[in-house]
Chains A and B, each alone.
Chain A
Amino acid sequence: MGLVDKVELPQPIKFVFNWGRRYSLWVFNFGLACCAIEFIATSMARHDFIRLGVIPFAHGPRQADLLVVSGTLTDKMAPALKRLYDEMPEPKYVISFGSCSNCGGPYWDSYSVTKGVDQIIPVDVYVPGCPPRPEALLHGILELQKRIGSESLKQRYIDADSRPEPIVVDA
């Protein structure tokens, strides 16, 4: 990877570096249910998360920095999600959007629904709601960007499996 995984960047360079990363988040929408509609609403003119530097509709997981799981993940779909996540290049972030992807939501006792995507992939931000409003997703994105802004890439690359405690957006 070069220098960033060997030395801690000096604070001003780190600031500029992370500033660039936090405002060019190519996002991949793993839309599985009605939450995907709220995600799309967030990307459209009224809420418009492009103004926050979130660039929607990455052409594939290999071009994406941020994965938003929006909707009900079933056990049958779970291997596809895991594979998609594994295809994304580091550094990568995951937002779990909506009750279904957080914990199974209304399908908490179902025979076919995975009770939370965090059983499959690590999650950085949980956005609760059924479905959450676009503002909630914007809030989640802002919280994630705050975290990216103060992140040490060296730490991240050295210990790729460790993640800080996930952020839970207040309802």
Chain B
Amino acid sequence: MDAAALTDHLVAELGDAVTPVIEHDLLTATVAPGDWRRVAELLRTDPNLGFDYFEFLSGVDEEAEGLGVVLHLYSTGRRHHLQLRTIVPREGGVIPTVSDLWLGANWHERETAELFGITFEGHPHLVKLLLPNEFEGHPLRKEFALLSREAKPWPGAKEPE
């Protein structure tokens, strides 16, 4: 399916729950956090969609809007691609896990959880993946203070001498 046909199919299945945008032949479907799990299950199990390949899951700091969660999926059988997005609140953002639908999402969710501070409900082992255990804070959030930069402004803006 191309992006337009994919959009029609998703809107027919989900109605208003999904906001589709097509950019560069890539369909970006934005859903509410409450619909995240339902939509993910549909994408995985609907034989017409057949998203069997998990590409990646990550977070985006959207500042005032909250924290974005981005999931990229691909169908090896039907050769189409989709980006699923949602936004959760900055504080206490919770979203259901998709790591049982795509096993590859397991580590990506752990990474997103530690770097952005989003909880993935139902994840089997949501502990830190990359950061040391004693690390405090969520370093990919924009408000995370980099101590070196507090002491000294970024020198990259200057021409090297």
* B131 touches which of A76, A104, A109, A115 (Cβ 8 Å): A76
Main secondary structure on A side of the interface with B: loop
Q: Note all chain A residues with C-beta closer than 8 A to B132.
A: 75-76
Bound form: Cα–Cα A109–B146 in Å: 6
Chain A contacts with B in 41-57, Cβ cutoff 8 A: none
A150 part of interface (Cβ distance < 8 Å)? no
Chain A contacts with B in 66-120, Cβ cutoff 8 A: 75-76, 104, 108-112, 115
**Closest CB-CB distance, B144 to chain A, in whole Å?**
7
Q: Note all chain B residues with C-beta closer than 8 A to A112.
A: 130-131, 139
B158 part of interface (Cβ distance < 8 Å)? no
Binding site for B on A (CB under 8 A): 75-76, 104, 108-112, 115
Chain B contacts with A in 105-161, Cβ cutoff 8 A: 130-132, 135, 137, 139, 144, 146, 148-149, 154
Q: 5 closest pairs, A vs B, by CB?
A: A111-B139, A109-B148, A109-B146, A76-B132, A109-B149
Beyond known contacts A75-B132, A104-B148, A112-B139: 7 more, CB 8 A cutoff = A75-B135, A108-B148, A109-B146, A109-B154, A111-B137, A111-B146, A112-B131
Bound form: Cα–Cα A32–B139 in Å: 22
Q: Which chain B residue has the least Cβ–Cβ distance from A107? A: B148
**Closest CB-CB distance, B134 to chain A, in whole Å?**
9
Is there an interface contact between B139 and A115, defined as CB atoms closer than 8 Å? no
Bound form: Cα–Cα A76–B130 in Å: 8
Bound form: Cα–Cα A110–B148 in Å: 8
Q: Which chain A residue has the least Cβ–Cβ distance from B148? A: A109
Q: Note all chain B residues with C-beta closer than 8 A to A115.
A: 148
Q: Note all chain B residues with C-beta closer than 8 A to A110.
A: 146, 148
Bound form: Cα–Cα A112–B136 in Å: 11
Interface centre among B135, B139, B146, B148 (most CB of A within 10 A): B148
